[in-house]
Structure 1
Amino acid sequence: MIKLEKVSKTYRTDKVETLALKDIDLHVGKGEFVAMMGPSGCGKSTLLNIIGLLDRPGQGRVHIDGVALSSYRDKDVARLRNKTFGFIFQSFHLIPDLRVIDNVELPLLYRSMGNGERSRLAREALERVGLGARMEHFPNQLSGGQQQRVAIARAIVGRPQILLADEPTGNLDSKMSAEVMDILLKLNSEGTTIVMVTHDEQEARRVGRIVRVFDGQLVGKEHAHAA
């Protein structure tokens, strides 16, 4: 499903050159749930952005669903990204002036789809995360955990094959974190491939595999003990 070969990434400014990733080889199979762990600044988010086609590698190759990305033309990448991936971030990135259901519909605006179909899919996604009764609310009327569930609904509304989650529970208390993890585990059990960046060892132990990153390199892979 996801394959990285000798992926490296260097960021350059006028005065400084920073090696963010070095010779990353990583394979994530269809239906896997992988947790990426490592200290702040080690390259985890950069790696997630390259997997999700939000950034491109300096060297190496990225394969998504068996297809090597030899070209990064904006239009092609945007279409593939919208069709294949759902993104969940630590900060919920909800638009405060839009109702919950309108926030969830946003990824569907880039598809050839009528208003009725967009609304139906958004309602289904919100039902799946337990927010069917909050569709007409605005983000500031929800708790942090509810806002993150809206963000998950927005990520899954287009029925992506792959979910990428960057510290999805980082702003939540332990109870809300557990609720979000339960939703992700259920999505994974239904076949969604998930790659999640986390600092939480307990959360990482609930998924299928842990990949550890240090100074831009993979330093260890282990099977987690799923709960």
Structure 2
Amino acid sequence: MIQLENVSKTYQTDKVETIALRDINLLINKGEFVSIMGPSGCGKSTLLNLLGLLDRPGEGKVKIAGQELHQWGDKDLAKMRNKTFGFIFQSFHLINDLRVIDNVELPLLYRKTSAKQRRELAEQALASVGLSARMEHYPNQLSGGQQQRVAIARAMVGQPDILLADEPTGNLDSHMGSEVMDILLKLNQQGTTVVMVTHDERHAKQSGRIIRVFDGQLVA
């Protein structure tokens, strides 16, 4: 499904060269639930960004479903991201001036989807996370756990094959965090490939596989 071959990533400034990742070889199979763990600054988020085509490697190749993408242009990569991936972030990244239903519809605006179909898909996505009654609310009228569920609905509204989650429970209490994990596990059971960055060992152990990163390298 997703394959990294000898991938390295270096960030360069005028005075400092920072090696974020070095010589990463990784295969994530269709239908897996993979957790990525490691200390702060070890390269976890950089790895997730490369997996989700939000960044390009300095060296090596990224393949999605067998397709080599290193020569693709930005527009083609953007289309691939929109079609293939759903993204969930620790800070939700909802637009407070838009209603919940409008936030969830956003990814569909970049597709040739009618207004009626966008609405139907957004309603289905919100129903799947138990928020049908909150469609007309605004994000600042919701709890943190509810906002993260809206973010999950937004990530899933385009029916992506792969869901990438960066610390999805990091800003939530234990109860709300468990609710979010239950949703992610259910989505995985329905066939969605899930890759999650987390500091929470308890949540990581609920996934099918744990990948550990230290100083930009994969460790056993």
Query: Which TM class, normalised by the smaller chain length?
Result: over 0.9
Match of 2:80 in 1: 80
Structure 2: segments with no counterpart, 5+ residues: none
Hey, which bits of structure 1, 4+ residues long, moved more than 6 A? none
Please state whether the residue corresponding to 2:87 is helix, strand or coil.
Answer: strand
Give a deviation string over 1:95-117, Cα, whole Å, max 9, x none: 00000000000000000011000
Structure 1 window deviating more from structure 2 (194-203 vs 61-70): it is: 61-70
Other-structure match for 1:143: 143
In the TM superposition, residue 66 of structure 1 has moved relative to its aligned partner by: 1.3
Higher deviation after alignment, 30-39 or 65-74: 65-74
Kindly provide the CA deviation profile for residues 75-120 of structure 1, in whole angstroms up to 9, marking residues without a partner as x: 1000000000000000000000000000000000000011000000
Write the distance in 1 (CA, Å) between the matches of 2:117 and 2:205.
38
- Counterpart mapping for 1:106-121 below 5 A: 106-121=106-121
State TM-score, norm by structure 1: 0.96
Q: Distance in 1 between matches of 2:192 and 2:113?
A: 23
Q: CA deviation at 1:72?
A: 3.4
Q: Which residue in the other structure is 2:21 paired with?
A: 21
Equivalent residues in 2 for 1:11-160, closer than 5 Å? 11-160=11-160
Aligned partners of 1:154, 1:120: CA distance in 2, in Å? 13
Distance 2:92 2:51 in 1: 20
Tell whether 2:168 aligns with 1:168: yes
Residue in 1 aligned with 2:211?
211
Q: Which amino acid aligns with 1:134?
A: R
Q: Percent identity?
A: 74
Q: What do the CA deviations read for 1:107-145 (whole angstroms, capped 9, x no partner)?
A: 000000110000000000000000010000000100000
Paired residue secondary structure (1:19): strand
Gaps of 5+ in 1: 221-227
Secondary structure of the corresponding residue to residue 191 of structure 1: coil
Find out whether 1:3 has 2:3 as its counterpart.
yes
Query: For residue 8 of structure 1, what is the amino acid of its counterpart?
Result: S
Shift of 1:194: 0.5
SS in 2 for 1:79: helix
**Cα distance between partner residues in 2 of 1:36 and 1:22:** 16
One-letter code aligned to 1:141: Q
Q: 3-state DSSP class of the match of 2:63? A: strand
Q: Which residue of 2 aligns with 1:224?
A: none
Partner of 1:225: none
Distance 1:71 1:55 in 2: 13
Alpha-carbon distance between aligned partners in 2 of 1:129 and 1:28, rounded to the nearest angstrom: 26
Structure 1 position 189, deviation (Å) = 0.2
Superposed displacement of residue 65, structure 1: 1.1
The offset of 1:70, in angstroms, is 2.7
For 2:140 and 2:113, the matched residues in 1 are separated by 29
| RMSD (Å), alpha carbons | 0.5
State the shift of 1:64 in Å: 0.4
Indicate the SS of the match to 1:26. strand
- Residue 52 (structure 1) shift: 0.3
- In 2, the alpha carbon distance for the partners of 1:197 and 1:103 equals 23
In structure 2, give the amino acid aligned to 1:108.
L
Aligned length: 220
* Normalised TM-score (structure 2): 0.99
